[in-house]
Amino acid sequence: MEKLIITAAICGAEVLKEHNPAVPYTVEECVREAKSAYDAGASIIHLHVRTDDGTPTQDKQRFKAVMDAIYKVCPDVIIQPSTGGAVGMTNDERLQPTELLPEMATLDCGTLNFGGDDVFMNTETTIKYFGDKMIERGIKPELEVFDKSMIDMALRLHKKGHIQKPMHFDFVMGVNGGITGELRDFVFLRGSIPSDATYTVAGIGRFEFTLAAAAIIDGGHVRVGFEDNVFISKGVLAKSNGELVAKVVRMAGELGREIATPEEARRILGLKPRK
């Protein structure tokens, strides 16, 4: 069984300091949280960025400032910018961080009702456009799937040449409007991807650690972090992203999975060694 890749989603676009005071907004806070996760065992930092007041932004220069600062303290980490953006952004606004040519970036594979009147739009045309841009820029997409139909979309667009193999999926489970985080649904998604694909599981809220355990046992990979869950246990706020990562490391140790370094994660995912 391959070593376990742990991704830390350190801030997201929605979670606020009101939910947990340790949620990072500033460049310095993002560096602090990335370093805590890296030191605890994360090899990938899934990155959204904010302005200093917490407003989500896809500004390329803000991404560059945060990424450069993280690389100074975690020189071999894999930084995976989000192209999700915010509701209402254009495709090119959302794609700004890919102009920095990161090793990986997210590619959302379908539209989702986030609640109320908020609809996270990802038309087939949008997904093709993002896929083509990532091929052109040499970026490996992490295929964000919130439901089974999004896996089907990714497989269909692979056949049309918009997404390359080997594919890497992220099962985002427990989001309002998407598939739940029950073990039954994890098994359904897991059985729906190609045999040569890799996957990570991001369980939202109370599903974070139960789904982490399932992925560890199955040979998959795990995402944790403040974007998905701000609690280390029921009713107890996590002090840092590193504390969430450390809990997964302990779980993996009990279940017999070793933790992948960033270079080992690159090999597993088919990325080039970082210079």
The helix (run of H) or strand (run of E) holding residue 269 is helix 262-269
Backbone angles phi, psi at 38, to 5 degrees: -60, -50
In angstroms, the Cα distances linking 153 to 75, 107, 127, 200, 210 are 35, 12, 9, 18, 27
Phi/psi for 126 (5° steps) reads: -60, -45
Q: Above pLDDT 70, what percent of the chain?
A: 100
Position 231 pLDDT exceeds 90: yes
Q: Kindly provide the b/e burial profile for residues 53-72, where b requires at least 16 CB atoms within 10 angstroms of the residue's own CB.
A: ebebbbebebbeebbebbee
275: pLDDT strictly greater than 80? no
- Strands 221-224 vs 198-203: parallel, antiparallel or unpaired: parallel
Q: Report the SS3 class of residue 174.
A: coil
pLDDT tens digits, one per residue of 117-145? 888 999 999 999 999 999 999 999 999 99
Domain 6-269 has what CATH class? alpha beta
Using the structure block, give the residue that is written with the tokens 């009702």: 113
Residue with tokens 């979309």: 153
pLDDT category, 35, cuts 50, 70, 90?
Answer: very high
Which class for 88: exposed (0-12), middle (13-18), buried (19 or more C-beta within 10 A)?
exposed
DSSP output for 118-150: EEE---HHHHHHHHHHHHHTT-EEEEEESSHHH
Q: How many CB atoms lie within 10 A of CB 106?
A: 24
Residue range 152-208, pLDDT digits in tens: 999 999 999 999 999 999 999 999 999 999 999 999 999 999 999 999 999 999 999
- Provide the token pair at 268: 């597993």
Tokens of 235: 């009713």
Instruction: Select from 160, 242, 171 the least CA-distant residue to 203.
Output: 171
pLDDT in tens, 78-105: 999 999 988 788 999 999 999 999 999 9
Say if residues 174 and 142 touch (Cβ distance below 8 Å). no
Q: Where are the alpha helices (DSSP H) in 177-236?
A: 183-190, 208-218
CA angle 135, 137, 138 (to 5 degrees): 65
Compute the distance between CA of residue 12 and CA of residue 120 in angstroms, rounded to an integer: 15
Locate the domains of the chain by residue range: 6-269
Contact present, 131 and 143 (Cβ < 8 Å)? no
Give the number of other CB atoms < 10 A from CB of residue 52: 11
Three-state DSSP at 191 gives coil
